[in-house]
Amino acid sequence: MRIVLAAEETAGVQALRLLTGSPHRLHAVLTGSRTDDRTRGVTVARAARALSVPVLPADLVKDPRFADDLRREGVDVLLNVHSLHLVDAAVLAAPRVGCFNLHPGPLPEYAGMNVASWALYNGETSHGVTVHWMVPQVDAGPVAFRDSFPITDTDTALSVSATCARRGLSLIEALLTGLAADPVEIPAMDQDRRARRYFGRQVPDDGWIPWAAPARCIVDLVRACDYGPFDSPWGRARTRQHGTELTIGAAQRTGERTRSAPGTVGSCDRGEARIAAGDEWVAVRRLRMAGAAVAPDAVLTRGDVLASAVPVC
């Protein structure tokens, strides 16, 4: 099979390596990652060039004229791994076998963007990853392969995303094996449209912590924003102290009931501060102010009341 790979991030690098070690021919890689000396680490583009694979701009998939190139070169499959450009309908129709996408969530329940964060925010106890056939509607094509895994109380958006990438690569291996054996036998299970939920780029409450909510909801929001040490597409969960914005990187439920007003700071010691949620105390263990890490007990004082958002004038 002649395959074109559209890919980004570490998962894209690993998919590239899987393809070059398979019996298929990698015709080209489409990526937006850079190859100059200012880019740290291995990027998809750098890895492709090291393997002498042609590198093309990632946004070519949005150009219907690219479909002519795919047909002319006899491309059988377009495989998308963490590349976020919307693929033009003509491009989707061009490969002889079809187009496949690795989606870091279970379909149809978690279509769209940043679904690892949404799953944590929604309090899910399991998540999944899907390889599906691509159609013009985002994340709506028939499912080829899927896998699921539990979410634990210690998981963050970063750890869930990493598990999706790791398990997703196994699904890509299954896809490559199926393509080599008989493409006609690759599964194509229609999604249940009634169960479809689509999530966009928006962040719940713009990332402001709703202190009146149950502690579980507050801790889940903090976890959903936690991609540490990397930048988070959701930013960090935030609050305000006397008009100054603070962001919270780690929080944990205590199970200790509180009658204090939501947002009230309780005990502060040993690098930790306890803040009242709607039902129990939440232990805050990582805090940033003005972009710098600070110890919660060095900034917060017992009796302070943290705000959930910018006051409306």
The series of mean pLDDT values per 10 residues for the chain, 313 residues long, is: 96 96 97 58 91 96 97 98 96 98 98 97 97 97 98 97 97 97 97 96 94 96 94 94 93 96 94 96 94 92 86 43
Is residue 308 classed as helix, strand or coil in its secondary structure?
Answer: coil
Q: Is 87 exposed, middle or buried (0-12, 13-18, 19+ CB in 10 A)?
A: buried
Reported as type and span, the H/E element at residue 45 is helix 44-50
State whether 121 and 166 are in the same domain: yes
Give me the pLDDT at residue 309, please. 66
Give me the pLDDT at residue 34, please. 55
Radius of gyration of the chain (CA): 23
Per the structure, the count of domains in the chain is 2
What's the CA gap between 266 and 242, in Å, rounded? Answer: 16
Domain boundary among 199, 234, 269: 199
State whether 124 and 25 are in the same domain: yes
Give me the pLDDT at residue 73, please. 97
Q: The whole model's pTM is what?
A: 0.92
Structural domain that includes position 124: 2-199
Find tokens 């399991």 and name the residue. 126
Q: What CATH number is given to the structural domain containing 221?
A: 3.10.25.10
Q: 112: which strand partners? A: 199
Give me the pLDDT at residue 38, please. 46
Which residue type is seen at 244? Answer: T
Which residue type is seen at 210? Answer: P
Find tokens 């740290």 and name the residue. 40
CA distances to 82, 110, 133 from 190, rounded to whole Å, are: 22, 15, 10
State whether 237 and 105 are in the same domain: no
Residue 310 lies in a domain: no
Task: Locate 1 and state its tokens.
Answer: 């099979």
Give me the pLDDT at residue 35, please. 47
